Structure formats: structure tokens, C-alpha cells
Structure 1
Amino acid sequence: MRRLDKQNKQPEYDIVVIGGGISGASVAYEATARGLTVALVEKDDFAHATSSATSKMIHGGLRYLQKMEISIVRESLRERRVLANIAPNLVFPLPFLLNSYSHDSIPYVAFKMGMILYDLLSYDKNRLWQDAKKITGHKSYTPEQLLQMEPYIKKEGLKKGLMYYDYANIVPERLTLAFIKSAVAKGAQVANYAKVTGFLVTEGKQVQGVKVRDLHTHEDYDLQANLVINCAGPWADLVLHQSNLLEQPLHLMRSEGIHLIVDKKVNNHVISATIPGKGHCFMGPWRNHTMIGTTDKRYDGDPDAWHVTKESVLELLADANSVFGNDTPIKPSDIKYVYGGLRPLVESKDKDVYGTSRHYEIETYDHEKLTGLVTVAGGKFTTSRSLAEHVVDKAERLTGRPHQKSQTAEQYLEGSNIPDFEAFVKQKTVAYPDMKPEQVRFLCEYYGDKFEDLLSIAEDNPAYLEPLDADGEIGAQVIYAIRQEMALTLGDILFRRTGLGTLGHPGQDCLNKIAQWAAEELHWTKEELQHQIDEVEKQFKVPV
């Protein structure tokens, strides 16, 4: 991907998108797929915040049925199927065990009725392009059966359980990147580390573009556009406030969510239980480790100042130990990695952010007599493509363009054009006998139909093929991230282009090797190299 900058920008765009998370990426792709010219700018890296802080699931939102948010659940279930189709290398069926205990405030019969409704709402769940993605309806299990499947389920008070399926979003950073790449393939220009510092506004209150500060080249430039779409997530209100555009400013709620990575505790299922007075907690399989999630606490501070705290880590750990495990509680020293972020929620009178709706709003400013600006607030990862459809529908009306039917639910994402993923993996396993089958599968999942392009990087340097971790990740990924995926920092490479840092510290020798490769490719000085290493070391530190 060629990065948008001051030299290659176009004189004018149909749309400028602010924000390179999943919402902004989806809007950019949807708009370009309909023939609109698009520029997207992101003040940090693509998927650096909310989109990388997910529970790595594509799900219908079973808990939203408690508040009878039927439309959100139905939309989510439909989009769950769409994402399984268009991103077959990144979205896979995932079984969940929902356990009922004698002390639960919600009786088992309520769980059962909820699952029946969930199955009814997912009536089209198996209208899939690949048979391997098909899933079954829910089933009931006895305590003995549950414990046989997942011994880490807490035994005391266990009455019954239900198994149902949603999907795993195995690497949300790369799924977000796939939407970015799909937009670029259709003509969008995009830039990470490009911060919007203001709006171009006429005296008649028409927004005609944005002012941008390129944090990589340290240049300032303007992007002219017929419409600006603000998809800045937890920063959406702050983007608007900096220019004093509105008489009635947008106010977002922000919810903190963190996750812990520990050694393997569960087998193949996500196990879930309710926390009295709080919500729910889960433990799920991920890359032969276990992910524990999640907190859902209101955050009222500056989103740029947010960070994972010791208090939040210990609280989540205590919650998990209270509802999972039997005689072997997880200790703080067992935590290998912690990640998290802020969820943007539409302002609500409900002080309980766990109970706040995940619906989205698409805001125009007719009441302010301001034109040329749309803000997207709220939403969830699973429904981002659908959200983008609605946003671009509105953009067409606002700009007077004829309506074009959306095609994005019917086309593979860039890098995911694989009609039969399991056959694809088998083919590559046979073609590369010197690589372990599990390594081939991992790289096929991460890179899809670009698998051969990735390996070609090692033709001039066999060292790039040497495995760097237990999954078989390789040095070629580092180079590919820089040359093909706009990675500009060591953090981009470790946490958002590869999985080399997302299970915790890869080891000092490995980290230094990766950093040196990046330094050579990006022409870092010794001082910059050390700065990059220092920055990722901060992220690896578990605050306990």
C-alpha cells in the first residue's frame, strides 16, 4: 500500500474518512466499492485502539436479548454470516458453553429461552459459501458432560449448561486491515499517523474538508472533500470539539475493556459465567493459550491518557477466579500479556455501561445548519460492515449522488479470495513439506491468498524463513508488514501486523532481531531503534 501524503493527495475527494479502526475502514471500503473517491486518515496506526481491544469474537450479542434489543441481535447474526463468507481465513466457528449455577440470579430456563430465540434469529446462519463454516443450533448438557469437555469449569453449584456457536475473529487487527486493503484496492488513499487538526469550513457553515498534520513526515496539508465522515471512535467527540463546530457538542460515553492472556486453561470452548452484580466473564482458547475477558467499566477521562491499570487487572483476575477453576486459581504472575482499550458508546442515562446499548447512531447536523459532516457514534465490530452500508447510503443522499446497491456482502475481502479454505491449507501444506503443517495453517490464516507473496520475501534471505515463535511466525512477516502493509513502528509490526507480540514478550533475542530487521528496512538511527524497543517494552509490561 502506498501511503497518502502531501505530495500524492488528490485535489478533491468525494469523502474523507477520519479514523482507521473497523468503522472507518468499513466506510472507506463501502464508499470506494460504490465508485466514490475516498481518503482515510488515522492519527495512530490502523486498528490501534478499540478495534484491537476486542474479545476476538464475531458474535450475535446473546446478552442483548436481556433488554430485548432484537434488531441489534438480528443484524449482528446476519453480519456474523457475512464476515464468515467474505473473510474465510480470519473468521471461524467457535463453540461456547454457557453454564448455569444454583446461585445465579438468572434461572436456567431464562438461558434456555434466550437460546431458542437466538437460534430463531439466526435462521439463515448456514447460508454460507463454505461447508466448513456451518454451525449447529444450541444443545443442553449435564454437569458431568460439561466438566468432561472443559475441566476448568467450576464444579460447585453447577446445574446445567448450554453449548452454542458464534465465531472467532482470530486476529481483529488483520481483519480491520483487510477492509483497509480492500478500500485501497478499489482506489482509496489512506494514511496512518495522520492527525486531523481542524476542519475546512465556509462562512455558510459548510464543511469542505479537513486539516491534517502528518506525524510521520511532520508536514501539514489540507484534504478537500464533498463530505467528511467522522469515524474516530472514542475520539469522535474530541475531533469535533477541537474546531468548535457545534453549538450542542456530541458527548460520548467510554467503556474500558481489558483482557488477560495466560497459559492454556480451556480446550476448544469459550466458557462463560455471570458475575453477581456485574455481568459476565469468559475464558476462551486463543493460539494455544487462554484469553480471559472482560471488564466493562465507565471511563470519564481523556482517551489519550487511558492505560491498563493494576486495579483493573486484579479485578478481572479475581472475577475469573471466582467463577472458573476449582483448586488452581490463576495468580498475577501467571499473566503473560494484557491488552485493552475504550469502547465508544452513545450517551445514555444508564450509568451501567455493561447494560448500555451497542447500537450506533449516524449523526448529521441539520439542526445546527451545518452541512458536509457526518459523525458515526457507537456500534460494535461485528456490525461495522452493515453500519458502513447505512453511512454510505446517507452519504449518497447528502451529496446528491445516485444510489448504488452495496456489493460488499458478496465479495471476498482483499487477501481472502479463497473459495475453500481447508483445501487451500492442504494444498500449501503439500507444496511446502519443509514447513510444519501448523505453521502453514497459521500463515494461511494471517495472510490468506497472499501466502505466496509473503514467502517470496525470503528468496533473497533464507533467515527470514526461520520460525520465531511456537506458531511458526517468520521474519518475512516483518518485512512484508513494512513493504506491503504500511507498518511504520516496531509496535505496528509486533501488535497489529503479526502475532509476534500479542502473546507477551517474545524474548529479548527475538525482539532485538525483529527490531534490527525493521531498523534496516525503515532506516532508523541507533537512537530511534532504541526508542522503538523502549516503547514496546512498556506495552509488554503487565501492571501487577
Structure 2
Amino acid sequence: MGEYISMFDDRVRGPRVRNNYDVIVIGGGISGVQIARHSAGRGLRTLLIERDDFGAGTSSATSKIIHNGLNNMAHQEFRVAAESLKEGRYLGFAAPHLVRPHSRLIVGRHWSKARTAFFGAGMAAHGLLGRGRTEGLPADNQAGAPRWVSKKDLLRELSWLDPTNLVGAWRHDDNLNIHPERLLLALVTTVAESGGSAINHAEVTTLLGGPGEGITGVRVRDRLSGESADIKATVTINAAGPWVDEVLGAWSVPARMEITQHKGVHLLCGDIGLKEGVAVRGENGLRILLTPWQNRTLIGPNEVEVSGNADDASRATVADVKEILSALDSVSRRPFDRRLIKTTISGVHPRAKGSKTERFEIHNHASEGFRGLFTLTGGSWTLGRLVGEQVIDRVLADESDRLPPVRSFDSRYVNLATSFGDYESVAESFEAALVRRPEAELGREERIHLAALYGTDHLRVLELISENPGLAERLAPDSDCLDVAAQAVFAVSDEAARGLEDVLDRRLAVGTLGPVPAQTVGKVADLIAPLLGWDEVRRATEVAEYLANQKLDTAVLEEL
């Protein structure tokens, strides 16, 4: 079984880290976590390694949509459309409290790229592909059938639309990924409860082995302590997203991997009164989504190819923002009020150079002399489960002579570890949650907020409040965010958070809703500093760095 490596004992999710595994997965985004979930689910000794924090990259910079493949139908990508329809349903089974139906209006104009009648035929074909896609889901997670909305009715609902050349809209349902950060953490918990181990703030600095010998494991550095260790593995899977070429390092050329990077930029705005999502194509050709979310509106994305370091390239530029606003203004009666923009959200995703697919590609480097090394490019939230399943199926097929016997694992209809049980509706599961831990003095709204974010783990947050009633205090009482102090403590004690960004941006809701007030940042720092051993100087430094980084996402707005 190998020896233990103690440097990660303070934060490992799952069993203690050893120096030998069947499978190491590099990258703690949605693809890497789903790969680790399926590896552990098959009974393989699995270690997931994330350089920063789980979901710190592109997995948090999303449109909040689990797409149902309708756009793929328009591009005649029927396979991806069928897969997306199925995968949306499976995610609905896995975490119905975090994945909910979402209605969207697809606006048609006389000059639209896809003519309205043609698009309607595509909707009908899409409906046939998706028959039964909500069967078995909770009653309040059922999706409706596509329907046409006339120009008159559309303008009654969306009075800001420019009526010129307007035909009407098709209304259809996909799924809203309400809190992608929390959904990813639920998947990490599932990896751990399946016997896998997961560590964050751990950087793979070297792939062990080389050409001919194959890849035999990794050298990993704890970015918090600076310590390093070699960990052996039969198979190493590079799922580092935009950083796959950095993981390959000196072997990227002999391993024949050339990557292109694509940046997606969104604008997080205040509530503009939408009751459902809207999809429009601007006169500049850019198709954007306007998504009502958490009393806010998400607008984007603007997808552009970028070069250079993924960390530097991921920031939104003035040109990115202006492109989105130009598209929106061109279909509106009046220019969008720039004062409504709270911040920008952006992330980078990779593709193998020359790839035309929006799906994903699995590359086995054995033919280049690097047996035991696999690289994933592409992937998405929608297809994440399928990525995990197919990558591990490929690994088992190619490395069957070196891996131990495995068990069967079908993740399609399996709840995540923190999902509620079998309720008729999501609302019913929340009502049941209201009577748990009655001694915890917390209001109805806050209790439902915790249940929606944490699933069954909300009980552990309530337990902290029972032990210390002061932890029921709201963290941002002057806002609509319902986060409470106990969540910050839980983030460190149970969810491996090790910094303010980990806590505010990926464990709590407050950091996802726009710039966090300095007072709230300071309050959270006060809560976690003693848990992490920070002195006053370290606490002040962490607060200053968080606020400075937050400013980088809004600075571009000052140039509009």
C-alpha cells in the first residue's frame, strides 16, 4: 500500500496521502474531479492533486448553465446534442438542490443566422432527442416543452428589446448550475467518500520517468509549506485545463501536445428584471446569454483565442467587455446602463491545436514513449460526468495489464455524497431540513440557504452554530447574501480552505455575487485567522491581497 506522506494531513479530503497509487489525476476542476470520482468509484487507488484550490480556474468562471445541446443542433453536432441532453438529466439526479430547470427565450430576427422556421424545426428534432429527459426527477425540477412566443408577447415581457426586424422567440428549458463552486465541492466529497484522496494547494513540479521508461508518477510540492515529495502511480492523468502544457513541462514537445487557449468573459450585473434567460445575437455576430441568477444578471460570454500564460490571459480586457456591450446595445432600444455592471468573470479553457470539436479529447502518450500518461483537452460542466466515465474506461482498456481488477460503477443515477434523499420535490427536502437541529438559533431563510448550498452537510454547519450561537451572525448583513459565520469556520475545518479566496469565493456564496465589502472580508479573516495560525500581520496582508485581486476584476470597468 506504500508509506504515508504527512505534509498534507491537515487538509487532505479522504484517506491520508500515500506514496503510491493506481491513478493520479492532476487538476481539480470539473473534469479532473469527475475523472477522480470515476477512478475511485471503480475501486482504483486514486489521488487528485490541485495546484491552487478546487474549482479555482475555469470551472468557477461559467455561464451557470448546464446546456441541453440546442446550440449543437444548430451546428449539426447531433452527437454532442444527444449527450448534453442526457448529461443534464444525470446531473439533475446527482444534485437536484444545485441543478434546477431554467427557461430561456431564444430571440429571432429577420437577419438571424439560423432562420426562425429552420430553428423551429431544429427545436422539434431536439425535443425528439430529449424525450423523457426529466423522467424521474423531482416534481419541481421538471422541464417544459419548447414553445413559440410571438413578437407582441415577447415585447410585452422584454420591453427593452429593439422591435426592428424582430420576429419573436422560442422558449425552451435547460438547467441552471446554481452554485458551480458548491457542486464541485460536493463532487470532491464524493471522491473522498468513495475512497479517493484529494489535495489542494499542491503543485506537480515534475513528471517522474521519461521517454521509453514511461511516466511513473509525479513530484509534488506543498505550496503552503514548501515541502516536496515523490508519489508513484501506474497511471497519471493530466486534466489541468489551461495548464496541461505546463504539467507536461519539458515533455510537451516529445509528447506532441500543442494547446490553444480560449478565454470566455462574462459581465456580472445587477438585477435587470428578467424572469427567464434570454439568448440574442448582436449585429457584430456575437451570441450572448442574459441569465437571471441570485437577484443578479450574468451576461456573456465573449469567446476569444488567447496566447501566453493562462493566468495572465484570463483577465477580461476593455475590448472583451466592449464586444459584449456592443452586441447587447445593437439589439436594445437604448444602450445598456454601464453602472449596473458589478464585475467581470473570465476563465480560459484549452483545446488541442487544430481541434474543431467543442467536446473533449483523450490522448494516450504511450505511442510517444510515455506509457502511463494520459492528457485530456476540452470538456465542460455539461459533459463532465461523461468525461470522467470515458477517460477511466479508456485508461482501463489501455492499461488493463498493469492495473488491478476493478468493480463496476454506473454514475448516471447516483446521488452525490451530500445530496438529499428521495423526496417528491426539492422544496420538500428543504422543508424537511428546516426541522433539523432545532437548537441552532437560525432563521428560516438562512436555514434554507444552507440546505441549498450544502445539501446534507448543512447539518454540520448547524452543529457549529449549536456549539457557538455567535456563529449564526450574518457575514454581510447590509446585502441580500444570507451567508453566516459558521460557514467560514466549516470551510477551514472540513473543506480544506486555506485562504480568503478559498473561503469567500468558493465555499461561501458572498464572493460569487460581486465585489465583497471590505468589512465582510475583515470579518471572515477574523474567523479563520486563529484556525490557520495567522498572526495580525499575516491577517492584514491576506485581507489587503484579497481586496487588491478583487479590484483587478473591476478595474477594466473604469475604462469604459
Q: TM-score scaled by structure 2? A: 0.91
| Code of the aligned partner of 1:219 | E
1:336 match: secondary structure: strand
Whether the aligned pair in 1 keeps the contact of 2:441 and 2:465 (CA below 8 Å) is no
Whether the aligned pair in 2 keeps the contact of 1:32 and 1:38 (CA below 8 Å) is yes
Distance 1:154 1:413, change over 3 A: farther
When structure 1 is superposed on structure 2, of 335-344 and 274-283 the one drifting more is: 274-283
Q: Which residue of 2 aligns with 1:346?
A: 352
Q: Return the offset for 1:385.
A: 0.7
1:349-372: CA deviation from partner (whole Å, max 9, x where unpaired): 7xxxxxx53111110023213211
Distance 1:162 1:202, change over 3 A: closer
1:201 aligns with 2:209: yes
- Percent of aligned pairs sharing the same letter: 29
- Give unpaired runs (5+ residues) of structure 1: 350-355
Q: Which residue of 1 aligns with 2:430?
A: 425
1:415-455: CA deviation from partner (whole Å, max 9, x where unpaired): 11332221121223456697554433322110111112111
When structure 1 is superposed on structure 2, of 399-408 and 470-479 the one drifting more is: 399-408
Q: Return the offset for 1:460.
A: 3.3
Residues 379-390 of structure 1 mapped to structure 2, 5 A cutoff: 379-390=379-390
| Code of the aligned partner of 1:511 | V
When structure 1 is superposed on structure 2, of 522-531 and 213-222 the one drifting more is: 522-531
When structure 1 is superposed on structure 2, of 127-136 and 495-504 the one drifting more is: 127-136
Distance 1:403 1:388 in 2: 15
Whether the aligned pair in 2 keeps the contact of 1:345 and 1:379 (CA below 8 Å) is no
1:120-154: CA deviation from partner (whole Å, max 9, x where unpaired): 22123122332221112200011222233344444
Distance 2:62 2:337 in 1: 22
Distance 2:284 2:126 in 1: 24
1:409 match: secondary structure: coil
Distance 2:537 2:256 in 1: 42
Distance 1:302 1:445 in 2: 36
Distance 2:113 2:16 in 1: 59
Distance 1:329 1:67, change over 3 A: closer
| Among 460, 468, 482, the residue aligned to 1:472 | 482
Whether the aligned pair in 2 keeps the contact of 1:13 and 1:224 (CA below 8 Å) is yes
Whether the aligned pair in 2 keeps the contact of 1:199 and 1:243 (CA below 8 Å) is no
Q: Which residue of 2 aligns with 1:251?
A: 258
1:32-58: CA deviation from partner (whole Å, max 9, x where unpaired): 111110011111111111101110111
Whether the aligned pair in 1 keeps the contact of 2:19 and 2:230 (CA below 8 Å) is no
1:337 aligns with 2:343: yes
1:248-280: CA deviation from partner (whole Å, max 9, x where unpaired): 531122111111111111333111111235331
Distance 1:413 1:382 in 2: 16
| Code of the aligned partner of 1:362 | I
Distance 1:151 1:85, change over 3 A: farther
Q: Return the offset for 1:202.
A: 5.8
Distance 2:16 2:388 in 1: 26
Whether the aligned pair in 1 keeps the contact of 2:219 and 2:228 (CA below 8 Å) is yes
1:453 aligns with 2:460: yes
Distance 2:284 2:75 in 1: 16
Count residues with an aligned counterpart. 534
Distance 1:538 1:121, change over 3 A: farther
Whether the aligned pair in 1 keeps the contact of 2:284 and 2:327 (CA below 8 Å) is no
Distance 1:390 1:2 in 2: 32
Distance 1:263 1:176 in 2: 25
Residues 107-506 of structure 1 mapped to structure 2, 5 A cutoff: 107-201=115-209, 204-240=212-248, 242-244=249-251, 246-306=253-313, 307-324=315-332, 326-327=333-334, 329-331=336-338, 333-348=339-354, 356-400=356-400, 401-402=404-405, 404-420=407-423, 421-429=426-434, 435-469=442-476, 470-506=480-516
Q: Return the offset for 1:410.
A: 2.4
| Among 519, 525, 549, the residue aligned to 1:509 | 519
CA RMSD of aligned residues (A): 2.1
Distance 2:184 2:291 in 1: 21
Distance 2:52 2:419 in 1: 25
Q: Which residue of 1 aligns with 2:6?
A: none
Q: Return the offset for 1:207.
A: 1.1
Distance 1:524 1:323, change over 3 A: farther
When structure 1 is superposed on structure 2, of 528-537 and 159-168 the one drifting more is: 528-537
When structure 1 is superposed on structure 2, of 186-195 and 302-311 the one drifting more is: 302-311
Distance 1:153 1:245, change over 3 A: closer
When structure 1 is superposed on structure 2, of 229-238 and 13-22 the one drifting more is: 229-238
Q: Which residue of 2 aligns with 1:353?
A: none
Distance 1:246 1:461 in 2: 56
1:393-421: CA deviation from partner (whole Å, max 9, x where unpaired): 12222332446433222221121133222
Residues 525-536 of structure 1 mapped to structure 2, 5 A cutoff: 525-536=535-546
1:447-469: CA deviation from partner (whole Å, max 9, x where unpaired): 11111211111223322212234
Q: Return the offset for 1:334.
A: 2.4
Q: Which residue of 2 aligns with 1:103?
A: 111
2:25 match: secondary structure: strand
Whether the aligned pair in 1 keeps the contact of 2:214 and 2:366 (CA below 8 Å) is no
When structure 1 is superposed on structure 2, of 482-491 and 62-71 the one drifting more is: 62-71
Q: Return the offset for 1:88.
A: 1.1
Distance 2:91 2:58 in 1: 19
| Code of the aligned partner of 1:392 | I
Distance 1:82 1:8 in 2: 30
Q: Return the offset for 1:63.
A: 1.7
Distance 1:110 1:485, change over 3 A: same
1:304-332: CA deviation from partner (whole Å, max 9, x where unpaired): 222222332233233223234x346221x
Distance 1:4 1:434 in 2: 31
